[in-house]
Structures are given as structure tokens and as C-alpha cells.
Amino acid sequence: MYETYNEIQEAEIGQEQSQKVWWTGYIVFGIVLLISCGWFYMFLQGVGLYHRVGVDEYAIVQDVRGNFTVKEYGQYWRGFSNVWIYPRTIEFRFNDNVTCSDGSTMGIESYALIELPDTEEEILELHKSIRNVNNIKDLISAVVQTSLKHTAPSMTGKQLITSHKAEFADIAGGQIRDGFYEMEYDAETQQTKFIKDELGKYITTKPSMLNMFGLDLKQFSITRVDIPDSLYKQLRYEKHLQLEQMRMEAEAKAARAKRDAEVQRARMLAAEAAIAAIEILPPE
């Protein structure tokens, strides 16, 4: 009976150890499988057979049969397809020189935020026409540059740097978004001015190249204006004259106040003397 009990115990212990070995094997196999899958996924991405599209971009995929599709946020099997990644928006900073109506050359630094199309049809049409992001940036650069140069003759360099910077940005941004405005030369002011219709809107003579490709200007601003030394000296001289004029006016005002005070004092003294000279007779 005792030997039989020992045999049973040994059998149970052996069974438990066997189960532990099996479970250990399963765990090791699972870890190896996960690592292998990870390495295989990295291999697919490394050789370009698998691609990922970010939340702020989309991909245009051309399969081996030549068909185009648009992929949004997610991870996709690429295989042997051609893939082009486009951002949903493009931030663009531009530096260029423009010539104002008075002949002064101004350095303009501007910022533009461009939104790309959001429908599959427009996205594919944009890609077939422009082909890549660099060409889109070249197009934006050309449109911004032309719009700035088209706007500059409408004001002097002094007006641009002092009081018309916001107006300049509005007109230039409008031409980037809508197209070139109709303009005419004003002999009286010797400046170019833009023509408005009866509703007070600028008349467009040529549509914007951005609109033609479904690109939408969301924001435009002039971030910096660099002026030539000659204009800088002129503005400083005019500022000096203004301060001198203010000083002279203040001194003249103070002098007038002093004279008025002296006249008032003289009048008071004369009145006091006149009162003192009056003979006061005693009552009868």
C-alpha cells in the first residue's frame, strides 16, 4: 500500500512538471512569435511594402494597374504600388523685395497658410496636374510673389511702414486668394489704385492660380517690413521735426499762459489801486 501511494505521488508530480514545461513552451513560443511579427512588420516598412498615413496628411496610391485611390489616416499594405504623401495644410514663409509708388524698395516677409483640397476628386486632379508637394510650394511662391509686387505700387514706402501695413496685407492676401485686381494709375497721387464695383468689392481681372487647383488660402499676414536706409533717415528726420514742432508749440503755449497770468495780475493790481484811491466820506 505504501509503495502504491508513493507511485501515485510521483506520477502526480511528474504530471505537474510536464504541464509547467508545456506552459513555459507556450509562453516562449508566444514571445518569439510577437518578436518575429514585429521584425517582419519593420522589414515590410523598411522595404516599402507597408506605409503609414498620418492624421494631418493623406496618400495617393497608384496600383500596378494604374488606378489611383486616396488613403487617409491609417496603415496600409503598399505592395508594389506607387505612393505620394501630401500634407492637408502647408505653412509657407516668403521673403522678397517690392517697389512702392515712390520708388523705395521694401523687404517684405510674409506668412501664408494654405489648405489643400479635401475631396477625392479634387485631390486626384491636383496630383495629376502638379505631381508632388515641391511643385505645390513652387506654385504658392510664384502666386505670393506676384501678388506682393502687384500690390506695392498702390502706396508709398512711408505709408507701408507707418499706417497701411494691414491694408497692404488685406489687398495682397485677397489677390492670392481671389486673383489679380483691376487697377489704374492716379495722376493726382501718382499711385496705382485698385478699382471697386458698385458693391464696394475689388474687380478681379484674372483668377487665382490657387483656386484653379483647389488650394484655399486660410491665413495671410505681413510679419516684417525692412526699409532702405534713405527712407529710414527720412522717417527719423520727420520724427525729429514733429518732436521739435511739439516742443515749440508747448513753449508757445506756456509763454501765452505766462503772459495771460501777468496781464491778469496787472489788472488785479490796478483794480486794488483804484479801490484804495476812492475817498470814503463820513456820514452827515
Taking the chain (284 residues) in consecutive chunks of 10 residues, what is each chunk's mean pLDDT? 50 54 60 60 52 81 83 76 87 89 88 91 88 89 92 86 86 92 81 84 88 91 81 64 73 78 76 64 54
- Whether the Cβ atoms of residue 157 and residue 100 lie closer than 8 Å to each other: yes
The answer to whether the predicted template modeling score (pTM) of the entire model surpasses 0.75 is no
Predicted pLDDT of residue 230: 66
Contact assessment for residue 111 and residue 131, using Cβ atoms and an 8 Å cutoff = no
Q: Which residue has the cell 506676384?
A: 146
Rounded to the nearest 5 degrees, what angle is found at the Cα of 239, between the Cα atoms of 233 and 240? 90
pLDDT at 160: 84
